[in-house]
């Protein structure tokens, strides 16, 4: 038996269980193993970090988000509820960074809007339809 159908069956079972029982933590681990990543790239001037650089994560259409924001693999913010934000200026200097947002949103018919807002920067990503959040922002600060 191939491993792919087994993984798919496990993920679908977890999602169905979450719909019935109200979104258990265990779905995070199961779902993250089989999802694709939506990715963007941003170049910033270091002078922009003198002002707040907000990363905003909003559940739309009644969606609630549960997950994490990671900067180069380190958790910097836990996502909980329909509105979350973090000031990235506190974490960035010159260099290259990978910011990932991983988790789930429910109900899965909702959607999640991710915005990066700075003095000279505006970036928007949106995901919807499957309850899985897996966004990546690659950033170079010069």
Residue 3 lies in a domain: no
Write out pLDDT tens, residues 78-118.
Answer: 999 999 999 999 999 999 999 999 999 999 889 999 999 99
3-state secondary structure of 125: strand
Structural domains in the chain (count): 1
Write out pLDDT tens, residues 12-71.
Answer: 444 444 443 343 333 333 334 445 788 899 999 999 999 999 999 999 989 999 999 999
What range does the domain containing 118 cover? 35-141
Residue 21 lies in a domain: no
Contacts of 109 (CB under 8 A, 6+ apart): 61, 129
Residue 48 lies in a domain: yes
Contacts of 25 (CB under 8 A, 6+ apart): none
Q: What is the pLDDT of residue 37?
A: 80
pTM: 0.73
Report the percent of the chain where pLDDT is more than 70: 75
Q: Hey, how many other C-beta atoms are within 10 angstroms of the C-beta on 69? A: 25
Residue 24 lies in a domain: no
Angle ∠(14,73,101) on CA atoms, nearest 5: 50
Q: How far apart are CA 91 and CA 69, in angstroms?
A: 12
């Amino acid at each position: 038996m191939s491993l792919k159908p087994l993984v798919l069956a496990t993920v679908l079972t977890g999602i169905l269980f979450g719909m019935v029982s109200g979104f258990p933590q265990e779905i995070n681990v199961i779902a993250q193993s089989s999802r694709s990543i939506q990715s963007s790239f941003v170049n910033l001037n270091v002078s922009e970090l003198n002002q707040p650089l907000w990363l905003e994560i909003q559940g739309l259409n009644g969606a609630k988000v549960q997950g994490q924001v990671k900067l180069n693999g380190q958790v910097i913010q836990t996502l909980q509820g329909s509105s979350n934000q973090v000031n990235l200026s506190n974490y960035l200097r010159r260099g290259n960074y990978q910011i990932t947002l991983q988790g789930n949103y429910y109900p899965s018919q909702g959607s999640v809007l991710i915005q990066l807002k700075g003095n000279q920067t505006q970036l928007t990503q949106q995901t919807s339809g499957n309850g899985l959040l897996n966004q990546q922002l690659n950033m170079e600060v010069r």
